Structure 1
Amino acid sequence: MSHPAEPTVLTVRAVLFDMDGTLVDSTAVVEQVWTEFAERYGLDIEEILRTSHGVQAGDTVRRFAPADADLEALTAELGEMERARTDGVIALPGAEALLGALPDDAIALVTSADRILADIRMRAAGLSMPTTAVTAEAVTRGKPHPEGYLKAAALLGAEPADVVVFEDAPAGIAAARAAGMRTVVVGDAGGDLEAGMWRIPDYSAVTVTAVKDDDGGHLISLGI
């Protein structure tokens, strides 16, 4: 008789989350907006979707827009389109319970969205925004650069080795790995797993135990 595998337990001091595709399913809106962008300029939507996930919108616009396009205005227009559309934006299973079980001063959101869009999407999905959030305007280099994750860890007072990141997209996974952080891949779009990486379908089976240590910080055990 076979038995279920024992869950992996990760013990950390801080937990960092990407947003789109990790806490929030916004696929319908994202694909709709980028499809309209691709159709306007006769671009390959499949290539755009393949490379844009987890990346700041401005970086994708710079990569694909025609040479004579006003990149700043176009990025702003696409941002307004995304902010105005929330139909179908929902939380991943178990995300609300997991966020509620974790100490707020030991978690952060690290997203390629700007703060306005992040607030809109988290609210539309019924999720509370962590007090610490590193959004697009808070960094000079977006994912796959590790700046956002390193900044979030520093804000929480945690060393990279004591952090776990929940991510779904190759760009975000690369950022977390470059930051030297353990990484849990949410869903099946993140590619192959390497040492220091795990995969979950969603948060339904994730368990949390958090205790204070002698220094006043948190020791968090995550069963995944």
Structure 2
Amino acid sequence: MGVQMPPNAMSGQVHTDSHHANGAAQGAAVLFDVDGVLIDSYAAYRRIWTRWALYRGLDPTIVWSHTHGRRPVDTIAVVAASLDAEAEYRLVRDFMAEEGDAFPVYPDAAAVLHVLHAERWGVVTSGRAQTVRQRLHAGGLPDPPVLVDSTHVTRGKPHPEGYLLAAELLRTPTERCLVIEDAPAGVEAARTAAMTVIGLTTTHSADELAHAHHVVSSLTDAKPLIQDWLRR
């Protein structure tokens, strides 16, 4: 199953590391969501979206229910269709900037990524690449060989476009990609892309992640599954 490359991907704006991504397809690949998987952003984003919802006179609970795994502009378009989504996203980013360093990496993320130092891997995020890299670096994590962010797709999760693009950049068939996700929208996106999914119960219950192939509580618990996947 292929994917139509967006113009900015073809112009090289999708981050790739040539050592990992430009050779012939081989082995397997592991793809990570970022928020709720590598970065513990739940509390900070809850504050940000609550603040925005109250600022616009919206129900924070309803707004929050539409945020998980989705691009902010897509969330805004659903909960406040009469507003300019791009303009509102700039306001959300202003609120985000005021949170400072309230986006720590999970303590077990480094050990998992260390296993992948010589493997094919990347991230598919609903955030923006610059912000993601800053937060990963601040937590001592490496730069992903492939990073697909919200600006590289025309349709965010639960559409599979982001994961299909990552597989294309890694030159890995979708059925040989393992995805680590924490949100139902991300699980749906990966499954629609014909990928195997591990769901982490960091932000959602096991019942909410029931469509994932495996459900575990942390990256530590996911590590042996990832290692097994890479050995196949």
The alpha carbon displacement at 1:84 in A equals 4.3
CA contact 2:77–2:85 (8 Å) conserved in 1: yes
- Select the structure that is richer in strand: 1
CA change 1:203–1:70 in 2 (3 A) is: closer
TM-score, normalised relative to structure 2 = 0.79
Q: In the TM superposition, what are the counterparts of 1:31-50 in structure 2 within 5 Å?
A: 31-50=46-65
Q: Return the letter of the residue paired with 2:44.
A: V
Aligned to 2:210, which of 175, 181, 193? 193
The alpha carbon displacement at 1:103 in A equals 3.6
SS of equivalent residue, structure 1 residue 61 = helix
Q: Distance in 2 between matches of 1:31 and 1:209?
A: 33
CA change 1:182–1:137 in 2 (3 A) is: same
Gaps of 5+ in 2: 1-26
The alpha carbon displacement at 1:209 in A equals 4.8
Q: Deviations over 1:6-36 (max 9, x none)?
A: xxxxxx6000000000111011211111011
User: Is 1:82 matched up with 2:101?
Assistant: no
Q: Distance in 2 between matches of 1:30 and 1:90?
A: 12
Q: Which has the larger radius of gyration?
A: 1
Q: Distance in 2 between matches of 1:204 and 1:108?
A: 18
CA contact 2:180–2:200 (8 Å) conserved in 1: yes
Which residue does 2:79 correspond to in 1? Answer: 64
Gaps of 5+ in 1: 1-11, 211-218
Identity of aligned residues (%): 34
The alpha carbon displacement at 1:180 in A equals 0.6
Q: Return the letter of the residue paired with 2:218.
A: D
Q: Distance in 1 between matches of 2:217 and 2:227?
A: 20
Would you identify which runs of 4 or more consecutive aligned residues in structure 1 move more than 4 Å? none
SS of equivalent residue, structure 2 residue 37 = coil
- How many residues are matched? 201
Q: Distance in 2 between matches of 1:22 and 1:74?
A: 26
TM-score, normalised relative to structure 1 = 0.81
The alpha carbon displacement at 1:66 in A equals 5.9
Which residue does 1:177 correspond to in 2? Answer: 191
Aligned to 1:161, which of 139, 161, 175? 175
Q: Deviations over 1:148-170 (max 9, x none)?
A: 00110111111111110000011
SS of equivalent residue, structure 1 residue 220 = helix
User: Is 1:138 matched up with 2:148?
Assistant: no
CA change 1:162–1:168 in 2 (3 A) is: same
CA change 1:94–1:221 in 2 (3 A) is: farther
CA contact 1:26–1:90 (8 Å) conserved in 2: yes
Q: In the TM superposition, what are the counterparts of 1:4-23 in structure 2 within 5 Å?
A: 13-23=28-38
CA change 1:184–1:115 in 2 (3 A) is: same
SS of equivalent residue, structure 1 residue 75 = helix
Q: Distance in 1 between matches of 2:97 and 2:168?
A: 29
CA contact 2:199–2:209 (8 Å) conserved in 1: no
SS of equivalent residue, structure 2 residue 220 = coil
Q: Distance in 2 between matches of 1:35 and 1:79?
A: 13
The alpha carbon displacement at 1:105 in A equals 5.3
- Select the structure that is richer in helix: 2
SS of equivalent residue, structure 1 residue 91 = coil
34-43 vs 114-123, which deviates more?
114-123
Q: Distance in 2 between matches of 1:140 and 1:155?
A: 17
